[in-house]
Amino acid sequence: MAIMTSSTDERRLTARVHAVWKKLAGTGLPRRSQIDPADFGLDWPSCLMIDVDQVPQRSRFSYVGVALRDPTWPTFDRQSIAECLDGSLLELVTRHIPRVAVTRNPISFGGTAVHDETSILYRTVLLPLSETGDRVDGVLGAIAFREVTLSLGEAEHPASNGHGRVPHPPRNTRQRH
């Protein structure tokens, strides 16, 4: 079912991924097994999939696109969402999984974050998935982001190192939520 929305006129990654999800959903929720990376084309590296556990912190990433990988993880190995570094892009996004599971509706939001030691602005969409149609047991997400450039006044801000990057705590002091 090659849907391939990447070449359409829609400029926003989150809207393109949401459009594919809606086509798969029909009148219900799509199943995780319906998600085919080919349907998302060039947007797939900016997507993620999470197997939702009844205890949200035990939910696990089943896929994290290369554009979203947490550089503090040595390799991708189905990490639980509890393993995300506090304040990282993935941690900020996964905070909203319980809301998606309860409402059974897509949610979209954005803000500022740090990704790969760079200050960014991001926009994400989280889309519920269900193998049985009864409960949300998966989430498909897409995250678009761009580096925040500093104005002259911000370059002197004490949190900035003068290169548009906000320092991270040392990598060996992982804080889990």
Place of tokens 């939520």: 177
What is the number of residues in the chain?
177
Find residue 108's DSSP bridge partners.
Answer: 125
Q: How far is CA 45 from CA 68, 117, 121, in A?
A: 7, 19, 18
Cα angle 118, 176, 106 (rounded to 5 degrees) comes to 70
* Pairing mode of beta strands 60-64, 47-51: antiparallel
Q: Which two tokens stand for residue 143?
A: 């995250």
Q: Which two tokens stand for residue 24?
A: 């798969």
Domains of the chain, with CATH numbers?
A: 13-152 (3.30.450)
What's the 3-state SS for 76-121?
CCCCEHHHCCCCEHHHHHHCCHHHHHHHCCCEEEEEEEEECCEEEE
In angstroms, the CA 19 to CA 90 distance is 22
What one-letter code names the amino acid at 76? F
pLDDT for res 134: 87
pLDDT for res 173: 38
Note down pLDDT in tens along the chain; length 177 residues.
444 444 455 689 999 999 999 999 988 999 999 999 999 999 999 999 999 998 988 999 999 999 988 666 667 778 888 888 888 888 899 999 999 999 999 999 999 888 888 889 999 999 999 999 889 999 999 999 999 876 544 544 444 433 333 434 333 334 444
Q: Are 121 and 142 in contact (CB under 8 A)?
A: no
Q: Which two tokens stand for residue 93?
A: 């996004």
